[in-house]
Structure 1
Amino acid sequence: MKKVLAIRLLLCATILSSTLAPVATQADQEPMVRLEDQPISFTLQPKMMDGVLMASVRDLARVLGMEVTWKEDELLTIVTHNEFELKLPKNSDYAYVNGQARTMHGTTQMVNGSMYVPIRFFMESANYVVRWDSAANSVNITKQADTLPVVGTYDHLITLLTQNQRSGSIKVFMAQGVKTETSATALVQSKDGSASPAPESMKSESPAYSDTNVQVQGVDESDIVKTDGNYLYTVNKQRIVVTQAYPADQMKVLSILDFQKNQGTPFQPTEIYVDDKHLIVIGNSQQSDSLVPYSGGAGLTEKRMIMPMMRQGNTKVMVYDLTDRSSLKLVKEAELDGSYISSRKIGSSLYFIANKYVNYNPYLKTENKEEAKAALAPSYRDSASGDSFTSIPLDQVYYLPKAVEPNYVLIGGMNLTEIDKPMNVTAYLGSGQNVYASEENLYMAVTNYEQMPIRTLPVPVDSSTQNSSTQGIRLQTIEPRKEETIIYQFGLTASKAIYKNTGTVPGRLLNQFSMDEHNGYFRLATTSGEMWRTDEGASKNHVFILDANLQVKGKIENIAPGERIYSTRFIGDRVYMVTFRNTDPLFVIDLKNPAEPKLLGALKIPGYSDYLHPYDENHLIGFGKDTSEVDLKNPQGPQSIAYYQGMKIALFDVTDVNNPKEKFKEIIGDRGTDSELLHNHKALLFSKEKSLLSFPVSVMKLDPNNAKPANAYGNFAFQGAYIYKLDLEKGFQLRGSITHLTEDDIKKAGQYVQAGDKQVQRVLSIGDALYTVSNGLIKANDFNTLQEKGSLIIP
């Protein structure tokens, strides 16, 4: 709190004058406060206190038709209306909204017996939107509409940004959603995780091949390797390599897009899509360094460098025509301000998302607000409209009221059948972390974290002894951190994302598999609290079901106290959840009745699963780590600790939903063994029909002749792909392995191998061959014998 107070004092004379304070020429006048364009009649006039516009709680409650009660014994004011409750402690910078603690910008203060509260906090808690208009020296309050509010003015932009900076809350920026990988035949995965034959319209003369395994049927996800059955397209460092892959003994490189040799703006490709006509490359480009315009308050006409500028990254999409794969033709470029977050491709529509930091500090003292407004506005570029960037006016930039951060989130949408038409772009001031998409909707989720203040408690004094040494001593305890996940729903129509609804649930999400849309409901699994705590702030896990308006319809809370979620998979009317501390509980939860979800059964075994993949309607495959629990023999602390061991794959039988079982398991290597599959679900190749399971893995092994403690790491033994046969009769049967390392490479390896360009990244299937891909090599091995059929060195 001291840090927050220091920031307030430092910025009071400058920043706060442009938030809810009047401009300098009107310093002797308090702002006019309007509700739905009508002036509010106050019995006690609003006051500027420490740079924050405050008003009487009773006046604000009266104009909204709310009841006010003062609790003398608790020194707090309670405001109520229908199901809304706001508790405002005296002289406090936090309050309780419907039982949830929230930090406010400002402190409640008593003035002549009346409590004053920050106007913005009070109104936004009651679901109103507050805007500051410097030209009119007024504060405008409106009811939150079904559509998001717009930023509108420079003053309002600075208000939103600086308010969050001083709020004391901790928020996390948008991170790329985690996605999965692929089936080994021409299959389409349904929403419930089952597989069905691909429609005839999707088949071609190409042999059967593995597609990227997606979370939702019909919603494609980008990857570093794609195939169409005849060709392989790979992201290879700063290049895109197009290879003729079929037949396996005739592999050859057809073309290479080398962006290192691009003399223009540097570009780093990260992921790709492929369809019948186009190769779509997505990555980050870098703008040139530029001077920061700054004048110290005298306008922006005199520009000088006030600090070295970091290169500003953009998200760039490059669309190539595949008519001639030996000479790819660039047919479209599009860029969004900010770094690449995630994307989805639905039919011919591509949606991609970027996040841009708003560096507003150089403009805080400017008097030329129009020029500053233009400089701070987000922008985009589309080659269909020319080579220049187009700024998005602030009156077309929306903001996410409950997740405002110094970032712009931009969503671009383009129709690949209409390449010559400009893309659709929507911009939001705010934040998001995980992205989930169905065919109809896109969801962005952000978790807000608020560190609650330190609470002091008096030490009880023994009245029989009146020990003077304990009198006056007060204990300090940290209140549990408040965590709240906010979900923003956008409808996907005609290659454009349009805001629809906002929802809120307690806790934090793990990744995109913590979310799911099914039969008109949106389901989530969250964790709240901390594993290290043993009080009311201890970790707990929850499942929520939201209706079409993103309001909570049903929920199960406080699952597995003291543990956190490691993986979640929604399949049809069930959700499977793995939590972990020292053992791995697999929970089976019935969601058939959205209003009354039920916890059916649980299985507790050593280890944990990072990822759950459907095998069929009654079986799941879990991928994670084995663990070894060690007794610490510590009477005053944790009783035991679990050390990660080798990689564990398990087949769970959930036929009896009340008694799930671990039917088969396989342990790979010892402590230190790792696989990209544990961090990136796209690294999995699975086909139930072919009894095929494969993934890249780096194996570490201990000397079996020497006893080692549970925390001992193994030495390098292998890097490449493991290939298993998997069925319900015999479980996991290792058929063999494929590596790109030579015997000499392995001999030179120390405890940790540096595979470099020979690190196998993906396994795919085309026809009767398995293809393993690294940056330096592509290998094709016979599906049945695993004998090498062909290889290709990538130059």
Structure 2
Amino acid sequence: MKKKGQMLVLILLAFSLLVAYGYTHNRIVSIAEEPPTQLEALPRVGSQENLRSLLKTYYERESLLYGNMMKTADGGSRGMESVTVELEAQAAVANDAAGDYSTTNVQVQGVDEADLVKTDGKYIYQINGASLVIVDAQQPEKMKVSSRVSFKEEQFRPLEMYLDQDYLILIGHTPMPIGIPKPMIQDSVDSTVQKIRPMPVYYGGSTVYIKVYDIKDRSGVKLEREIKMEGNYLSSRKIKDSLYLVANHPIHYYIMENKESEVPTPRYQDTLLGEEIKTAAFEDIRYFPNAVEPNYITLLGLNLKTFKEKANIDTYLGQGENIYASSENLYIAVNRYEFEQSLDKPQNQVEGTAGFRKILPGYSHNTEVYCFGLKDGEFRYTAKGKVPGRILNQFSMDEYEEHFRIATTTGEMWRSDEFTSKNNVYVLDGQMKTVGSLEGIAPGERIYSMRFMGNKGYMVTFRETDPFFVLDLKEPKEPKMLGYLKIPGYSDYLHPYDENHIIGFGKEVIEVKGAALQAGMKVAVFDVRDVSQPIEKFKTVIGDRGTESSLLQNHKALLFSKEKNLMAFPLTVIENKRVQQDPWSSGEFTFQGAYVYQLDMEKGLSLRDRITHLTPEDYMKAGQHWYESDLNVQRILYIGDILYTLSNQKIMAHDLKTLKLKGSLTL
């Protein structure tokens, strides 16, 4: 038993090392098979014994997989590449709401996304560390805190929120499982005395925590309901009056060692139902054949219009990595490896970059997508699809006119043979069957950003230059490339300005002895009126190497309004006066705050001002570097003619026309 346990530990250690090298992330090992198309076709786990049997098959294949993958001709290893409703441009390009205030920058119009900050045009709601702060912003010169709810005593960490008229939904997590789980006993070596001693191991882990507040009285908010779900928060969406949330709940592999232990299933607790802890029953948990993962996907749906009714909670044996939602469907995507030959047969030897020789199992890297219909806070599983390659993020997926589009990267950038990286777009029908494809785009590069807009798609790949591709998706069965542009740098995020112009946010790149060296942050406007020859119409580069913006990782950090000719985002600027002489040299910190731009298609990009929450003394103390200070601007929003910048320590209000300071509030 002990040797068996040690072998499992070695297997998992190998898995961790491979993940660290970017080889795989949350993969599913399986053999290709036709997926079920309806919920009734999905088998139920049914019992502990069946779950153990399913996981046993998974771990056996894991053992074979990593035993083979650890072998190389050189005895070493090599790191691999790590890393809708129609989206009409004029409707989705801005944060403009029905009222004269900004809303969260979302991917799909009508599908809200949770964020750190929200406003209803009168009040500003902010997650501030371990607190929720509500600020009365009706008089910018006299801003005041109406309410502050602290969670420091609860071990609760708020992450994101939604507003729904008179209610606020807070989503966060706690490191503690629900209740007190039963311990297992595991052998552990005490390094100080070199002897074996028993150590308790718990199945529990992080718990997703939902708090619903009545905010009709902003000075006295009331906690109406709490829902706790074991697992790790993946993402969520709010569509009209309904909240949809997805969580992952890993299954500890030690259950395979201790056959006497009780196999855990996700638990949840809802104050609406009292203090009782509910447990998902095995007969209610379904799984996807030949795509078993030691993890549960938990889906929670809550109709906020009748939120005092029971929440809808469904559990599946599987894994989720990225989600995309239209107004009617939710798509959960996960990476998946499939073997093209048996693992007990000799593996393929292939020639890699610079003569590097690897022995690799015959496999294909795919993305599997589960589709769930959404209605009034309920999920309905409808279909499962699969395409070659791996996706980048939620913007790699899109729904348009009853078709699902997805952009992937296959292969690896470090390879120079037929297995080098290539980029692709696939179109799937309502049954998640592939009906069209455009493959082999930009060999040797990978996707850095993707944006679907109606019957067109815009893709940015990168290795040393930034190819910007325009794709024709009008005919689902025949996607085509219309044109492309090659320029230095790359874009991490693409945002539509209108139907003819796209804004790219990313990094400039300078070439140094054949290498592409990252430089400052780049903002570019692409003109796509001539789809066969797109051009970079405007461009600005901010700072030098080391300059960073949270916008490059999170689209919600962007404030954009075409109506107000306004664009703003948070930025930490590093400048290097020696960059021309020595591109490899380090620069110095010079600014943290918000960059506020004016943008139109006649004058281009014009920097109006820079707004910082740091004092002159803070800059003098900063030296060469800066850190995640509570004075760092995180979000920018507007209410009427007032622009607000928010950090954890301060809110500043500026006149939108003159950018003169109107008021400031220390939090």
TM-score of the two chains, using structure 2 as the length reference = 0.86
Distance of 1:149 and 1:549 partners within structure 2? 19
Distance of aligned partners of 1:402 and 1:675 in 2 relative to their CA distance in 1, 3 Å threshold: farther
Percent of aligned pairs with the same amino acid: 47
Q: Which residue number in structure 2 is paired with residue 83 of structure 1?
A: none
2:286 aligns to what SS in structure 1? strand
Where do 5+ consecutive residues of structure 1 fail to align?
A: 1-5, 12-102, 106-120, 130-142, 171-188, 297-303, 460-474, 632-639
Kindly indicate whether the alpha-carbon contact (under 8 Å) linking 1:226 and 1:232 is maintained by their aligned counterparts in 2: yes
User: Quick check: 2:630–2:649 contact (8 Å CA) kept in 1?
Assistant: yes
Alignment partner for residue 163 of structure 1, among 57, 81, 88? Answer: 57
Helix, strand or coil: the match of 2:61? coil
**What does residue 542 of structure 1 align with?**
424
CA–CA distance in structure 2, aligned partners of residues 667 and 758 of structure 1: 24
AA paired with 2:231?
A: G
Shift of 1:364: 4.3
Partner of residue 595 from structure 2, selected from 722, 741, 745: 722
1:423 to partner: Cα distance: 0.1
Q: 1:602 aligns with which of 484, 508, 512?
A: 484
Alignment partner for residue 354 of structure 1, among 247, 251, 254? 247
Q: In 2, distance between residues paired with 1:716 and 1:166?
A: 51
1:150 deviation in Å? 1.2
Aligned 8 A contact 2:349 2:360 in 1: no
Secondary structure at the counterpart of residue 200 of structure 2: coil
Task: State the secondary structure of the residue aligned to 1:260.
Answer: coil
- Aligned to 1:257, which of 149, 152, 166? 149
For 1:164-179, what aligned pairs fall within 5 Å after superposition? 164-168=58-62
Partner SS, residue 166 of structure 1? helix
Match of residue 216 from structure 2 = 323
Give the AA of the match of 1:292: P
Q: Secondary structure at the match of 2:620?
A: helix
Q: Is the 8 A contact 2:38 2:383 kept in 1?
A: no
Q: Secondary structure at the match of 2:630?
A: helix
- Equivalent residue, structure 1, for 2:633: 760
Report the CA distance shift for 1:480/1:529 in structure 2 as closer, same or farther (over 3 A): farther
Structure 2 Cα separation of the partners of residues 406 and 379 of structure 1: 16
Match of 1:154 among 43, 48, 70: 48
Tell me the distance in 2 between the aligned counterparts of 1:485 and 1:542.
12
State the shift of 1:644 in Å.
0.4
The match for 1:272 among 143, 148, 161 is 161
Change (3 A) 1:759 1:481: farther
Contact 1:645 1:672 in 2 (8 A): yes
Distance 1:500 1:9, change over 3 A: same
Distance 2:34 2:497 in 1: 45
Task: Name the CA distance, whole Å, in 2 between partners of 1:661 and 1:591.
Answer: 20
Following TM superposition, by how much is the alpha carbon of 1:715 offset from its aligned partner in structure 2, in angstroms?
A: 0.5
What is the DSSP-based 3-state SS (H/G/I as helix, E as strand, rest coil) of the residue aligned with 1:672? Answer: coil
Contact 1:357–1:407 (8 Å) recurs in 2: yes
Q: What's the secondary structure of 1:758's corresponding residue?
A: coil
Name which one, 1 or 2, has greater alpha-carbon Rg.
Answer: 1
SS in 2 for 1:663: strand
- Equivalent residue number for residue 663 of structure 1: 537
Residue 731 of structure 1 corresponds to which residue in structure 2?
A: 604
**Cα gap change, 1:543 to 1:724, in 2 (>3 Å):** same
Report the alpha carbon displacement of residue 243 of structure 1 after superposing the two structures with TM.
Answer: 0.5
Candidates 109, 124, 128, aligned match of 1:236: 128
Matching of residue 372 in structure 1 with residue 262 in structure 2? yes
Matched-pair contact (CA < 8 Å) for 1:191–1:216: yes
Deviation at 1:349, TM superposition (A): 0.6
Residues 128, 690 of structure 1: alpha-carbon distance in 2 compared, 3 angstrom cutoff: closer
Q: Which amino acid aligns with 1:345?
A: K
Matches within 5 A, 1:147-546: 147-168=41-62, 191-195=87-91, 203=98, 208-262=100-154, 266-285=155-174, 286-287=176-177, 290-293=181-184, 306-309=199-202, 312-362=205-255, 364-367=257-260, 372-373=262-263, 376-449=264-337, 455=347, 477-478=359-360, 482-546=364-428
More displaced 10-residue stretch of structure 1: 747-756 or 318-327: 747-756
TM-superposed CA distance for 1:275, in Å, is 2.0
Q: Which residue of 1 aligns with 2:192?
A: none
Alignment length (residue pairs): 607
Note the 1:594-743 alignment, pairs <5 A: 594-631=476-513, 640-703=514-577, 707-743=580-616
**Using the alignment, how far apart are the partners of 1:784 and 1:738 within structure 2?**
14
Name the CA distance, whole Å, in 1 between partners of 2:376 and 2:44: 23
* Whole-angstrom CA distance in 2 between matches of 1:348 and 1:697: 34
Runs (4+) off by over 3 Å: 6-11, 124-129, 143-147, 196-200, 288-291, 293-296, 308-311, 362-367, 449-459, 475-481
**Which amino acid is the alignment partner of residue 518 of structure 1?**
Y
User: Offset at 1:709?
Assistant: 2.2
Deviation for aligned residue 1:330: 0.8
Task: Report Cα offsets for 1:250-300 as digits up to 9, x if no partner.
Answer: 2000111100034xxx2110001112110110000223664414699xxxx
Seen in structure 2, the aligned counterparts of structure 1 residues 765 and 8 have a Cα distance that, compared at 3 Å, is same
Could you give the per-residue CA deviations for residues 154-209 of structure 1, whole angstroms, max 9, x where no partner exists?
12101222222221358xxxxxxxxxxxxxxxxxx962232289999x856xxx10
Instruction: After TM superposition, give the deviation of residue 590 of structure 1 in Å.
Output: 0.2
Indicate the SS of the match to 2:53.
helix
Aligned position for 1:781: 654
TM (norm. structure 1) is 0.72
Return the offset for 1:419: 2.5
Q: What is the aligned partner in structure 1 of residue 193 from structure 2?
A: none
Question: How many Å separate the matches in 1 of 2:162 and 2:490?
Answer: 33
Q: 1:532 is aligned with what amino acid?
A: W
Structure 2 segments unaligned to the other structure (5+ residues): 9-26, 67-84, 188-196, 352-356
Shift of 1:510: 0.1
Aligned counterparts, 1:64-143, within 5 A: 125-127=32-34
Give, as a single letter, the amino acid of the residue that structure 2 aligns with 1:151. V
CA-CA distance at 1:404 after TM superposition: 1.8
Conserved 8 A contact 1:574-1:588: yes
User: Which protein has greater RCO, CA pairs closer than 8 Å, 6+ apart?
Assistant: 2
Structure 2 counterpart SS, 1:513: helix
- Which amino acid in structure 2 is aligned with residue 193 of structure 1? A
Q: Are 1:238 and 1:260, in contact at CA under 8 Å, matched by a contact in 2?
A: yes
Asked if 1 retains the 8 angstrom alpha-carbon contact of 2:95 and 2:559, the reply is no
Cross-structure match for 1:52: none
> Secondary structure in 1 aligned to 2:308?
coil
Assess if the C-alpha contact under 8 Å between 1:291 and 1:305 holds in 2: no
Question: Counterpart of 1:764 in 2: which secondary structure?
Answer: strand
Cα deviation digits, residues 725-777 of structure 1 (max 9, x gap): 10111111011110000001001112111351101000101111110000000
Structure 1: distance between partners of 2:622 and 2:28: 56
Structure 1 residues 32-68: Cα deviation after superposition (integer angstroms, max 9, x where no partner): xxxxxxxxxxxxxxxxxxxxxxxxxxxxxxxxxxxxx
Q: Please report how far the alpha carbon of residue 381 of structure 1 lies from its aligned counterpart in structure 2 after TM superposition.
A: 1.5
- Change in Cα spacing, 1:616 to 1:199, as seen in structure 2 (3 Å) is closer
Q: Which amino acid aligns with 2:594?
A: A
- Aligned equivalents of 1:125, 1:496: Cα separation in 2: 30
RMSD: 2.9
Give the whole-Å Cα distance in 1 for the aligned partners of 2:522 and 2:95.
Answer: 35
Q: CA–CA distance in 2 between the matches of 1:625 and 1:379?
A: 44
